[in-house]
Amino acid sequence: MPINLHNRHLLTLKHHSPQEIDYLLNIATDLKNKKKSGIRGNILSGKNVALIFEKPSTRTRCAFTVAVVDEGGHPEYLGKNDIQLGHKEDVKDTARVLGRMFDGIQFRGFGHQVVEDLAKYAGVPVWNGLTDDYHPTQVLADFLTVRENFGRLKEIKFVYVGDGRNNVANSLMIGAAKMGMHFVIGAPKSLFPDSLFVKECNEIADEHKSGAKIEITDNPIEAVKNADVIYTDVWASMGEEAIMSERKKMLNSYQVNMHLIDASKNQNVIFLHCLPAVKGYEVTEEVFESEFAKQFDQAENRMHTIKAVIVTSIGNL
Ligand code: CP
Ligand code: NVA
């Protein structure tokens, strides 16, 4: 059956099939090549896109903005102090108003239920640009970067070290389960992902017969053995800044440094980070500036993959 993502939300990645994820990555590659060859598109001509941000953002905001403009649409940034949402107006009403005016809505914020409610009531596609629980557009960029480096996702050993229960780790686990990867989390026991969530991801892998393998360990050296990808994220996510000193103690031995890169015993290993990075904490300057580091390719790919999400759901294709 041909793949059609028209009018689809992107809230967690749970509702996208492996074929649909592959399709989005293929479209992203086409759009990347198109942009690199200097072609300006018009797939979003006449389309207005609302960008709601309750939390700060560099990459996601810029990726959505440039993606929409590149294809002839209009992005409208709505910061947390610019609109009534969360002050005077509830999510349901804001959703119904924005849905009357915009063709698609991006939401970045705290509670995941907000993006679910926006999707329920807006009547137009809603894309999750990060909530406390999930960061699905990030994973598309991460997987495109892996594909560009290794030519495939299946059976890639993808190791995430650090806070094993944050939004990025959660979304990576869902994506890896769908795409048949060998996904490992190296984290202290107190930051292991929720066991029910791991069970859910194993069920996703079974449902799609993807062949994915998910492992959780508190031994970072064991975790990275034979890794193709070593990934980390900040030790305290947005909203958790007050517990950074506690996290520093918990996560000190999970820092991605040259010793950990060497422990992969793979000279072709790549380092990824969703960024922003707190260098000296979750990653050393040495790794960040090394030949293994691909985080800026990954950051660029946010734009191409987000563009793929938008054009496939609201574009004039
Ligand atoms: N990776 C990411 O989402 O970056 P921003 O917080 O800058 O959007
Ligand atoms: N886990 C991080 C990701 C930032 C892109 C956070 O939520 O702050």
**CATH code where residue 209 lies:** 3.40.50.1370
Domain count, the chain: 2
Query: Does 12 reside within a domain?
Result: no
pLDDT digits over 262-286, tens only?
999 999 999 999 999 999 999 999 9
**Considering every ligand atom, which ligand is closest to the CA of 134?**
2
Query: Does 13 reside within a domain?
Result: no
Question: Cβ(130) to ligand 1 under 6 A?
Answer: yes
Q: Which letter, b or e, does each residue of 123-144 get, where b requires 16 or more Cβ atoms within 10 Å of its Cβ?
A: ebbbbbbbbbbbbbbbbbbbbb
Active site residue 302: yes
DSSP the chain: -----TT--BSSSTTS-HHHHHHHHHHHHHHHHHHHTT----TTTT-EEEEEESS--SHHHHHHHHHHHHTT-EEEEEETTTSSBTTTB-HHHHHHHHHHH-SEEEEE-S-HHHHHHHHHHHSS-EEES--SS--HHHHHHHHHHHHHHHS--TT-EEEEES-TTSHHHHHHHHHHHHHT-EEEEE--GGGPPPHHHHHHHHHHHHHTT---EEEEES-HHHHHTT-SEEEE--SS-TT-GGGHHHHHHHHGGG-B-HHHHHHT--TT-EEEE-S---BTTTB-HHHHTSTTB-HHHHHHHHHHHHHHHHHHHHS--
Read off the pLDDT band of 1 (50, 70, 90): confident
Active site residue 233: yes
pLDDT digits over 55-87, tens only?
999 999 999 999 999 999 999 999 999 998 888
Phi/psi of residue 183, nearest 5 degrees: -105, 125
Q: Whose CA is nearest to atom 1 of ligand 2?
A: 237
pLDDT of residue 273: 98
Active site residue 135: yes
Query: Does 4 reside within a domain?
Result: no
Using the mean position of ligand 1's atoms as its centre, give its distance from the Cα of residue 171 in Å: 14
Question: Cβ(167) to ligand 2 under 6 A?
Answer: yes
Catalytic residue among 106, 138, 295, 298: 138
**147 and 110 both lie in a single domain:** no
Global pTM value: 0.98
pLDDT digits over 19-67, tens only?
999 999 999 999 999 999 999 899 999 999 999 999 999 999 999 999 9
Catalytic residue among 16, 59, 273, 302: 302
Active site residue 62: no
Query: Does 11 reside within a domain?
Result: no
**114 and 188 both lie in a single domain:** no
Read off the pLDDT band of 206 (50, 70, 90): very high
Query: Does 10 reside within a domain?
Result: no
**108 and 175 both lie in a single domain:** no
Query: Does 9 reside within a domain?
Result: no
| Cβ–Cβ < 8 Å for 278, 234 | yes
pLDDT digits over 143-202, tens only?
999 999 999 999 999 999 999 999 999 999 999 999 999 999 999 999 999 999 999 999
**177 and 43 both lie in a single domain:** no
- The yes-or-no verdict on residue 214 having pLDDT over 90 is yes
pLDDT of residue 22: 98
Residue 273 structural domain: 138-298
**282 and 304 both lie in a single domain:** no
**142 and 234 both lie in a single domain:** yes
pLDDT of residue 87: 81
Active site residue 274: yes
**89 and 234 both lie in a single domain:** no
Phi/psi of residue 74, nearest 5 degrees: -120, 115
**162 and 33 both lie in a single domain:** no
Question: Cβ(58) to ligand 1 under 6 A?
Answer: yes
**172 and 265 both lie in a single domain:** yes
Using the mean position of ligand 1's atoms as its centre, give its distance from the Cα of residue 60 in Å: 5
**282 and 151 both lie in a single domain:** yes
**165 and 125 both lie in a single domain:** no
Name which of 45, 42, 291, 16 is nearest 177 in CA terms.
16
Query: Does 177 reside within a domain?
Result: yes
| Cβ–Cβ < 8 Å for 196, 269 | no
Residue 6: exposure state from Cβ atoms within 10 A (0-12, 13-18, ≥19): exposed
**156 and 271 both lie in a single domain:** yes
Query: Does 8 reside within a domain?
Result: no
- The yes-or-no verdict on residue 294 having pLDDT over 90 is yes
The span from the CA of 132 to the CA of 168, in Å, is 9
Calculate the dihedral angle through the C-alpha atoms of 244, 246, 248, 249, rounding to the nearest 10 degrees. Answer: 180
